[in-house]
Structure 1
């Protein structure tokens, strides 16, 4: 006869076994529900940039990597460089019409289709990169842009920034507005309409054609990005005068454009994950450029680039021209007007604030650098 302890132990083991089977069965039954909540997504991304521009093109790849890692391999995006599916300047259109699910591009590439596209990228004489981030994430900039993009079946989130760009490469010096008259310049987007008022003849030329166009004299000047990207292209050999600042791109936002119908199909936690990965990439791209540009600028100067700042005359004339363009576009396009006017109050407040602590600190440190007090000591 079994004692009571033995019977109790057998009863416990039997109950535990039944419980274990039930738990396993519960886990098996739950799996399909979990799979439905986190489906496998396979998207294609059309980039507006070639692979050689590793920092700006790399933004698309970074988003894809972050999404894949954070979703345990369930949210996958295959990145295609400019020209692999569609030309770089058609990337946004490809996302609109569903050729691809998403694009990594700059909104002003589509400004000819609708000037309101440029507002989410950059407008001349508006924001620095830091101010643009503040406006986007806390001033309603993302929502303002997406209200317009909804009309073209898109939703977008900031996904990169180059910081203030350079003013481009010139075959001859330009010191006055008179020097700008008849200047044939490769310049993209809304900026072309602004400098046209200064007498410049804007040219739309693909990146790969800029160097030979400068070398042959087909164009007199060209803007690209900034020291790190420009250094790869050797412009200083054929157009040695390197001007700054690129007042038309004080803080250009590179966006992650998604076909809205596809975005709406995503589970809410995938949408949140996508926004988070875009924001991380947005800030990381700027940090990369800030790290790489100082060394690249020194290399450019050593190889023949001659740095020049735009004169106050040219800057003032360009500022006035930009305001004329904004008045014209606001009268023609309600979507442009709404976004542009939404930026104005914060722009005023930002530059009032920025000239206090930030500007004063930076100016002091720049003086120390010029006096040779920041260089590392030699051991």
Structure 2
């Protein structure tokens, strides 16, 4: 599914939603999110009116059709009139980088994103999104959270932050380069202006990559105009789904991470107001979204490599690419020095990496 197939006036309903949001939330400008006072969303109490939430995702409309919309539609149906979640897309109400503050103040009620992109004020935020080479496959992420202690670490970290509740994490796709010019060696990365995540960009700067931050809706145009040379934000499934394959020429098969780690968050006051059965329902719908993405991305990464037809595949030789992976371990050690919790996390990642290597195929191949 490509953005080119969407009506040209696609942004108009989003703009209308934004205007409605500004009126109802008293939200003057995106920059003023920290200065204004906003009324809390209506809470189901003595009346029969449903509880209403506003949830914003990191994803644009075409990607959100897969990564969250089916689960929110299912929630609204299963809530049977007791609660309704209004879903908003990337930067639609609040710029992604300001989502944490907006949620904390109650401007919006919930968020689906990685910690890194929303500037979460916790030391674990650098491990959200694409922490370089922290995973090889999508199953690594839930395994780390549920069996290696990351869930408890995230709960501890967000327990130190006022009025935001971390609800859980899941995995998305790998992080590969989609570019206008071919990348066949590490030297080819030098000088490439690339849209990527904050921590991934911080790491890639070591190889001459120039990280660029732009709103989601501007990425396709930036590739067409040459403002961007490439994108290191997703795997090949998203490149085709959101239209980036239409404005790029090459796909680098080497990735800097095997899976993105994304989470769901909620304003703590809004979350605690929910009855237990609606909390349970929301978490079940989160799990359904996690499950769908596991097989959708696993299918898509192979499908579009073999039958996509729009992007030529390139590769950096494995022995050369190992230089980047080795450098990632040095990067891990630097992050470990930032806090005791970061050091604990890095040690978990090292132990997990060693376990997977010792286990051998299919966990890791030498």
2:167 alignment counterpart: 157
The correspondence of residues 353-368 of structure 1 with structure 2, limited to 5 A, is: 353=359, 355-356=360-361
1:278 match = 286
The more displaced of 78-87 and 202-211 is: 202-211
Is the contact between residue 194 and residue 318 of structure 1 (CA under 8 Å) also seen in structure 2? no
In our comparison, the structure showing a higher alpha carbon Rg is 1
Answer whether contact 2:186 2:316 (CA < 8 A) is retained.
no
For residue 21 of structure 1, what is the aligned residue in structure 2? none
d(CA) in 1 for partners of 2:120, 2:267? 20
Higher normalized helix content (fraction of residues)? 1
**Aligned partner of 1:316 among 322, 331, 336:** 322
SS of the equivalent of 2:117 reads helix
Q: Distance in 2 between the 1:213 and 1:237 partners?
A: 13
How far the C-alpha of 1:190 sits from its partner, in A, is 0.8
Partner SS for 1:53: helix
How far is 1:109 from its partner?
Answer: 0.6
Could you say which residue in structure 1 is the equivalent of 2:185? 176
Alignment partner for residue 350 of structure 1, among 349, 352, 356? 356
TM-score in terms of structure 1 length: 0.73
CA change 1:185–1:146 in 2 (3 A) is: same
Cα deviation for residue 230 of structure 1 reads: 0.9
Change (3 A) 1:235 1:313: farther
Matched, 1:257 2:262: no
Pairing of 1:265-344 with structure 2 (within 5 A): 265-300=273-308, 302-303=309-310, 305-344=311-350
Which whole-Å CA distance do the structure 2 matches of 1:84 and 1:221 have between them? 24
Q: 1:280 to 1:138 in 2, by over 3 A?
A: farther
Alignment gaps of 5+ in structure 2: 1-44
Output the aligned Cα RMSD: 3.0
- Do 1:185 and 1:201's aligned partners in 2 also have CA atoms closer than 8 Å? yes
1:238–1:137: structure 2 CA closer, same or farther, 3 Å change rule?
same
Of 80-89 and 98-107, more deviation after overlay is shown by 80-89
Does the residue aligned with 1:297 lie in a helix, a strand or coil? helix
Kindly provide the CA deviation profile for residues 153-211 of structure 1, in whole angstroms up to 9, marking residues without a partner as x: 3222346532324x212233333333332222222221111111112222122333333
Kindly state the Cα deviation for residue 258 of structure 1 after the two structures are TM-superposed: 1.0
Aligned length: 319
Measure how far apart 1:225 and its partner are: 1.8
**Counterpart in 2 of 1:216?**
225
SS at 1:77 equivalent: strand
| Residue matched to 1:84 | 92
| 1:1-379 superposed matches below 5 A | 40-56=50-66, 58-59=67-68, 61-110=69-118, 114=122, 116-127=124-135, 128-153=137-162, 154-158=164-168, 160-165=170-175, 167-232=176-241, 234-236=243-245, 239-247=248-256, 249-300=257-308, 302-303=309-310, 305-353=311-359, 355-356=360-361
**CA-CA distance at 1:285 after TM superposition:** 1.8
Q: Distance in 2 between matches of 1:350 and 1:270?
A: 37
CA contact (8 A) 2:58 2:96 kept: yes
Verify the 8 A CA contact 1:119 1:340 in the aligned structure 2. no
CA distance in 2 between counterparts of 1:253 and 1:193 reads 17
Judging changes above 3 Å, is the alpha-carbon distance between structure 1 residues 159 and 139 closer, same or farther for their aligned structure 2 residues?
A: closer
Q: Which moved more, 1:214-223 or 1:128-137?
A: 214-223
Alpha-carbon distance between aligned partners in 1 of 2:169 and 2:287, rounded to the nearest angstrom: 6
Contact kept, 8 Å, 1:183 with 1:220, in 2: the verdict is: yes
Call closer, same or farther: CA 1:73–1:232 in 2, change over 3 Å. same
Contact 2:357 2:364 in 1 (8 A): no
Please report the TM-score for the alignment, with normalisation by the length of structure 2.
0.76
Question: What runs of 5+ residues in structure 1 fail to find an aligned partner?
Answer: 1-34, 364-379
